[in-house]
Amino acid sequence: MSKEKIYFEPEDLANFGKVTEWQEPMGKKFFDYYGEVMKEGALTAREKALIALAVSHALQCPYCIDAYTSTCLKTGSDEEQMMEAVHVASAMKAGITLVYSTQMMKHTKKMTM
Amino acid sequence: MLTTKSLSARGAALSNTFFQLDVLNGKELADINFPPFALKAAEAGFAPLKPSRIEIFQINIGKLCNQVCAHCHVDAGPDKKVENMSRETLEICLDILSRYDIPTVDITGGAPEMNPHFRWFVEECRKLGKTVMDRCNLTIIMANKKYHDLPDWFAAHQVQIVSSLPYFSKTRTDAQRGDGVFEDSIEALRRLNAVGYGKEGTGLLLDLVYNPTGAFLPGDQAGLEREFKTQLKRRFDIEFNRLFAITNMPISRFLEYLLESGNYESYMAELVNAFNPSAVANVMCRNTISVSWDGFMYDCDFNQMLNLPVAMPQATHISQFDYERLSQRNIVVNQHCYGCTAGAGSSCGGEVA
């Protein structure tokens, strides 16, 4: 029996830093920027972790979902808050789909008697 | 699933402290070894780890408790009727406190208030001019009408209250501490606020303890304190002074949780990888003596629960208390010590680094 092909393995996340091995200056710039963005600033680290969690779901990155679930728990968010953040992302996606129907409605009215 | 009985009441293998130490040292259950903590401490310049000054006399007055919290390192519970400090042992403690300049008496348990000599002992410590801290689980205030007057009594004796509240919502709190604990804790906090605890200018200190409700390290203490203050005020009109973020130690019931949930290896790896050399200087074993219900001395409450007494052969009981020898002892360390040196470090007073 052949081994089932798995694309996403949780332990690969620990190797994220190694991307610098093949493009060091670019990789370093990314991680410096990333670290700067995610640290406490005008928004708290907790608020940023909830935003990141929501974005992870919207863009469907399993690594990010794992990482930011842990970060949200560590920075003091609970299940209700985390799920609510995901609903924000979900509502945004739904809204972003639906808002384009204003164009459909406009074009329909132009085309129809 | 939250257990309702202590490890010893269930006859669990982990109720044996030798077994726990074997697990932590890779000899039982978990087939993984981490660098010896003593080696890491030595690399940080502490070979061996020595005390600074004895500032805190921490008494575990008994393991009897009205709760059976999932993360409890004491394995406390309602079944622990024997493990309760006697008046005779408390009198020896008072004698030591009267003779030495140890400013703070930190009373922990179990639920300290369930010890029949608790109130007498606090009064005697206050007469000696000691700062007295009581690690109150909050629900004890609501548990029985004989404890309903505790807020007034605490205030009359200016006891500093340190209480656990893992979250400002029911889900996370009850998951760690038991069904109904959140509701009773909020009511207890309201009653403490009503007599002045946690309020500006009263001098009545009410500090909260945050323990993560799972296999993860606490986040930034200052950030957590801000969030707890905002949410408790907004949702319940409750105030408090400080929040201490305390890492869960991989011993007793929390060790059981880690093993059963499959999180032991990753949690220990996280503790080891987050070893912070600058946390070692401020670990609480350096300024604390921990005393068990039967009068034996330990470097800290965690060593106490692992049955690792102070390294003073034939002189581990408080009846043999020797301040000079204790000030020069080597502190006993083992793999659980990574819990106090991970990240920002951890102690009974929160972050240390």
Under an 8 A CB cutoff, do A75 and B172 touch? no
Domain locations along chain A: 22-111
The answer to whether residue B15 sits within a structural domain is no
Whether the per-residue pLDDT at A90 is higher than 90: the answer is yes
**Minimal CA separation from B263 to chain A, in Å:** 13
Superfamily of domain A22-111: AhpD-like (1.20.1290.10)
Domain of residue B190 covers 52-264+285-321
Provide, as residue numbers in chain B, all residues whose Cβ is less than 8 Å from the Cβ of A46.
Answer: 219, 223, 227
Beta bridge partners of B107: B59, B134
- In chain A, the residue whose alpha carbon lies closest to the alpha carbon of B246 is A74
Q: What is the pLDDT of residues A62-79, one digit of tens each?
A: 999 999 999 999 999 999
Q: ipTM for the complex?
A: 0.74
Whose CA is closest to B35, among B257, B249, B268, B218? Answer: B268
| Angle at alpha carbon of residue B242, lines to B236 and B245, rounded to 5° | 100
Under an 8 A CB cutoff, do A73 and B223 touch? no
The answer to whether residue B77 sits within a structural domain is yes
CATH number of the domain within which B250 lies: 3.20.20.70
CA dihedral A96, A102, A107, A108 (to 10 degrees): 110
**Minimal CA separation from B40 to chain A, in Å:** 23
The answer to whether residue B291 sits within a structural domain is yes
Concatenate the DSSP letters of all residues of B50-99 into one string: ------EEEEE-BSB-S---TT-SS--BTT--S-B--HHHHHHHHHHHHH
Whether the per-residue pLDDT at A3 is higher than 80: the answer is no
**Minimal CA separation from A55 to chain B, in Å:** 21
The answer to whether residue B131 sits within a structural domain is yes
Per-residue pLDDT tens, chain B, 353 aa: give them.
456 789 998 999 999 999 999 999 999 888 788 999 999 999 999 989 999 999 999 999 999 999 999 889 999 999 999 999 999 999 999 999 999 999 999 999 999 999 999 999 999 999 999 999 999 999 999 999 999 999 999 999 999 999 999 999 898 899 899 999 999 999 999 999 999 999 999 999 999 999 999 999 999 999 999 999 999 999 999 999 999 999 999 999 999 999 999 999 999 999 999 999 999 999 999 999 999 999 999 999 999 999 999 999 889 999 999 999 999 999 999 999 999 999 888 888 888 87
Give the pLDDT of residue B32: 84
Return d(Cα A79, Cα A68) in angstroms, integer: 13
The answer to whether residue B107 sits within a structural domain is yes
| B217: contact with A, CB 8 A cutoff | yes
B252's torsion region: left (phi>0), alpha (psi -120 to 50) or beta?
Answer: left
**Minimal CA separation from B214 to chain A, in Å:** 9
Give the pLDDT of residue B2: 57
The answer to whether residue B75 sits within a structural domain is yes
Provide, as residue numbers in chain B, all residues whose Cβ is less than 8 Å from the Cβ of A76.
Answer: 167, 210, 219, 223-224, 227-228
| B212: contact with A, CB 8 A cutoff | yes
Counting the structural domains of chain B, the total is 1
- In chain A, the residue whose alpha carbon lies closest to the alpha carbon of B247 is A74
Provide, as residue numbers in chain A, all residues whose Cβ is less than 8 Å from the Cβ of B173.
Answer: none
For residues B288 and B10, the answer to whether their CB atoms sit within 8 Å is: no
The answer to whether residue B8 sits within a structural domain is no
Burial class (CB in 10 A: 0-12, 13-18, 19+), B291: buried
| A80: contact with B, CB 8 A cutoff | yes
CA dihedral B236, B240, B243, B249 (to 10 degrees): -80
B65: CB partners within 8 A, 6+ apart: B72, B74, B76, B77, B78, B80, B109, B110, B111, B114, B137
Give the pLDDT of residue A9: 85
Return d(Cα B77, Cα B178) in angstroms, integer: 12
**Minimal CA separation from B341 to chain A, in Å:** 17
Taking the CB of residue B206, how many other CB atoms lie within 10 A of it?
24
Provide, as residue numbers in chain B, all residues whose Cβ is less than 8 Å from the Cβ of A78.
Answer: 167, 169, 171-172
- Average pLDDT (A1-21) is 82
pTM, full prediction: 0.89
